[in-house]
Chain A
Amino acid sequence: MTATLSTSAPRRVLLGSRALRRFVRHKLAMIGLVMVLSLTLACFFGPYLLAYDELFIDLRARFAPPGTGAHIFGTDPLGRDIAARLFHAGQISMAVGFAVMAIATTIGSVVGVVSGYYGGKVAAVLMRIVDAFLSFPSVFLLLALAAFIQPGPVMIALIISATSWMEVARIVEAEVKSLRDRDFVQAARMLGLSKSWIMFRELLPNAIGPIIVAATLTVARAILLEAYISFLGYGIQPPLPSWGNMLNGAQQYLASAPWLAIVPGVAITVAVTGFNFIGDGLRDAFDSRTAGE
C-alpha cells in the first residue's frame, strides 16, 4: 500500500497541480467555464427569480414576443413563459448530459482498463466490440430504439450512453497498456495486491487526465444528441421540457414566432460550446507536449 503510494501518488499530485495551473491560464477554457457555470446557475436559480412557473398556461398570453411584460424570452403556443421553461429544460438537458458522462465514462473505463491490463484475447474481443459500436450508425440506432421505448429522461440517458462510451474505452486501453509493465505495477504485483486493486487503484488513476477530457466532451455530445432525438420527436416528451423538445415544433412557427426556435437553440449552443472549450483547455493542460504553448 505504502509502496504503491510512494510511486504513483506523488506523480499524480505533481501532474495535477501543474495541469491545474495550465488550465487556469487557458483563456478559452476559462471562457467555457464561465459559460457553463453561468448557464448552470441560471438554470438552477433562475426559476426563483421569474414571475412565472414553467407549467403555468395562459392562452391569452400565447406567442408573446420576448420582452412582453415579465416574459423576458416571450411565451410559447400555450402562453407559458419561455424563460421558465428554458431554465427548467436546462436542468433536465444538463442532467441527461452528466448522467451520460457518468455512465459512459464508467463503462468505458472498465472496458479500457480490463482490456489494457489483460491484453491478448480479452483485449482483442473487447476492442472489436468497441470497433463494432464505433462503426454502428449511432443516430439510426438511437432513433430506432427511441421510437419504441417510452422515452423518459432516464431512458434517453441510457440510450445515449450506449453510443458514447467507446472513446473513453480506447483512451484508457491505450494508457493502461503503456503503463502495465512499469515499476509501480510490478511492485504492486509483488506485494500480492489483487488484480482489481491494481487495475482500478493503480492503473486507472494514471489515465485520469485523458478520461476527464473525454468525459467533458461526452457531456457536450450528450446534450447535442438529446437535442437531436427530441427535435425529431422521439426524445423526452412534453410537458416535461428539454432543450431539444422545446425546438420540436418550433419549425412550425418559424415565420410567426421565431423566438421559439432561437432561444433554446442559443442555450444549447452556449452549453455545448462551453463544455467543448473546457475540454479543449483540459486537453492542453494534461498534455505535456503542448505545455510550451
Chain B
Amino acid sequence: MTNEKHAKPGPTRRQALMLLGAAGAVGVMSPAILGRDQAFAANAAPSGQLVLACSQEPTVFNPLMPHIEVDEGVYYAIFDTLFDFDPAGNFFPILAAEVPTVANGGISEDGLTWRIKLKEGVKWHDGTPFTAADVKFSLELTMDPDFRSFRSTGYKFMRNITVVSDTELTWEMSEAFAPMAGILASTYIIPKHAFDGVEDKNTAPFMNAPIGTGAYKWKERMAGDHIELVANPDYHMDGPYLETLIIKYVPDLNVMYTQFKSGDIDVVGLQYISPDHLAEAEGLDGKVIKVAGTGTFESFGLNMMRDQFKDPAVRKALYAALDKGSIIDALYYGVPTPTETYMPQESFYYNPDLPKHEFSIEKAKALLDEAGWVPGADGIREKDGVRLAFTNSTTAGNHLREQTQQFIQQTFLEIGVSMEIKNFPPAVMWGDYWMKSQFDSVIVGLNCLAGADPDSSDYFMSTMSPALGGAGQNTFVYQSEKVDELLAKGAKMFVPEERRKIYQEQQAVMREDLPFLPMFQYAVVKGWKDDVEGPAPNVNNRIDTWNVRDWKRV
C-alpha cells in the first residue's frame, strides 16, 4: 500500500484546493440552497398531503443494502447524506456542517486524510441524538463481510475511521480517489442504535421500520400499494412543508397517467409520463409538465469479443445505418436528446465537440464495401468466413426498446447486415448473460457515473470485464490502452478544469472506437399539479425526490 502511495504523485496544493468543486469552477450555488444552514427552528407548521406515484414498488428500506432506483425515492425523504449534489453539480451540506475541502481543512493536501464536521443538535426520528458514531457505523457497515452491502467501490480505500467527538470524525484513504466525494453524496447515514444487539444485520427490524434523520418519518407501508410518511417536526434543515407524503405504487404507466389526469396523483414519479402522452399532457389544465434529462444514456452496445465487431469499419457502418432521428422523433416522441457519448450533456465534463452522427445508408454501404465485406448469396455481407449476422438482446416487455430493435433490424438489413432479435425477461437478461458478456449486441440504458463525478473506470477500464475475469462491469469488453491511461490519471486528479480535459479526451477516443453506438441521453416527462412547488430536475441524482424536503403545496 505505502509503495503504491509513493508511486503515484499526490495532487498539488492548487489542485487539492479545488477538490470537490469548492471554488467557482462549477457555477454558483442555486438560491434554494443558500441560507439553509440557519434553518433549524423557525419552520412553518407543515400542512397538507402529497401523493407521489411510482410505477415500481419500493421494497428495500436499508439504504446500504442492494436496492433499485425507486427505493432511493424513499431514502431521500427518510434519510440524509452528509452532503449532496445540487442540479448544477455543486455540493451542499446536509448532515455535515460544511462540505469538506482543503481550504476548510476537511481534506489533507494529498487527499489522503479526511475530516468531517457534523451539525450539532440533529436527532434521529426516535429522539436519539445523531452523532459521529452513526456515520462511522454506516461507513464501516458497507465493508462488513457479513453484511449484504450495495457497493464497496471507494469505501475499500477507507482506513482508521475515528470518532473525534460527537460532531467530528476522521479517516484515512489508502490512495487518493477523486470519485469518493460523489460516492459519499449517495451514502445515506443510518442509526447505529437500531442495530444494537442485532445479530444478523441483513434482517434487522430496521428494514421494515426505518429510522432516519430526514425530513419525513416512516408511518406505515401497505405492501403492494403505498408507503405513508409524515413530517419530521424536528428536521434540521428548512422544511418539511407537507404533513403527509404518500408514495404510491401504481404498476401501470397508463393507469398512473390517468390518475394524474383525474387528480388522484399530485406528482408523477419514477418511470414518469410515457412519451406518447407528452403532447396531451402539455395541454392539461392545472398541471406543470417538464421534460428533464437524466444521467442515463441509451446505446446499442457491442460485444467487442465477437469477430463481427472487431473491424472498426463495421462499427462505423452500423452507426451510420442507425436511424437515430427516426427512433427519437417517432418512437420516443422527440423526448430524449441525441448524444455521442456516455456523459450527460448537463455535466461539466461533457465534450460538446464530438463528431455529429449522420444517418446514411449509402455511407454505411460504402464503408463496408471499402473494408471488403461483400454480400453473399443471401445478401448478407461476409469477409474471411465471418458473416455480418448477430443477435440483439434487451429486456423483454420494454415496448419502446422492442419497437426500436425491430426498426433497426429493417435498416440494418438494407446494408446487408442480419440482426436477429433475442430478448429475455429482466432476471435473465441482466444476469450472467449481460455481466459475463454472453450477448452479441444489446440495447441498454446505462449510467456509468457516481453522481456528478466523471469517473467511469468500472465500465470502460480494460481490466474491468467480468468475461475476462475482471471485477467491474465492462461488459462491452472494451480494450483501449489510451482510455485505461486516461481513467487512471483522472481518478487521481482533483482540479475540475484539468480533469475535464482528461474526460473529454476519453469521450473523443470512445466516439472514434465505438464500443457502443451512442443513441440518446434519456429524458423523462415529469408532471405535477400546479399547486405543488419544489420538484426540480437534477441530473446528478437518480430520482426526483432528492429535494423532497423543499416540496410544498401553495
Contact = CB atoms under 8 A, between A and B. Distances in A.
B424 A150 contact: yes
Interface residues on B, range: 20 to 34
Interface string A245-279: 00011011111100000000000000000000000
Interface string A207-247: 00000000000000000000000000110011100000000
A59 B399 contact: no
Given A237-B423, A252-B254, A59 B326 contact: yes
A57 B406 contact: yes
B402 A256 contact: no
A66 interface: no
A148 B403 CA distance: 22
State the main secondary structure of chain A at its contact with B. Answer: loop
A239 B399 CA distance: 11
A252 B253 CA distance: 8
Contacts of B276: 252-253, 256
A55 B406 CA distance: 9
Contact of A59 (B252, B407, B423, B428): B407
Nearest to B424: A150
Contact of A237 (B254, B410, B421, B428): B421
Interface string B374-414: 00000000000000000000001101001100110110000
Nearest to B423: A237
Given A59-B331, A77-B331, A249-B399, A239 B406 contact: yes
A253 B333 CA distance: 14
A41 interface: no
Contact of B425 (A78, A148, A255, A256): A148
Contacts, number: 52
A115 to B, nearest CB: 37
Contacts of A150: 422, 424
B425 A77 contact: no
B330 interface: yes
Contacts of B422: 150
A62 interface: yes
A55 B410 contact: yes
Interface residues of A, number: 23
Contacts of B402: 238, 249
Contacts of B427: 147-148
A239 B409 contact: yes
Contacts of B274: 252
A239 B427 CA distance: 21
Given A59-B330, A238-B406, A233 B424 contact: no
Interface string A154-183: 000000000000000000000000000000
Could you say which of B253, B399, B407, B422 has the most chain A C-beta atoms within 10 Å of its C-beta? B399
A254 B253 CA distance: 12
A233 B396 contact: yes
Contacts of B406: 57, 78, 238-239
Nearest to B274: A252
Nearest to B408: A57
A57 B399 contact: no
Interface string B246-289: 00000011100000000000000000001010000000000000
Interface in A29-80: 55-57, 59, 62, 77-78
Contacts of A78: 331, 403, 406-407
A237 B410 CA distance: 17
A239 B392 CA distance: 12
A21 B397 CA distance: 49
Contacts of A59: 326, 330-331, 407
A147 B421 contact: no
13 contacts: A56-B410, A57-B410, A59-B330, A62-B330, A77-B331, A78-B406, A234-B396, A237-B423, A251-B252, A251-B254, A252-B254, A254-B254, A256-B276
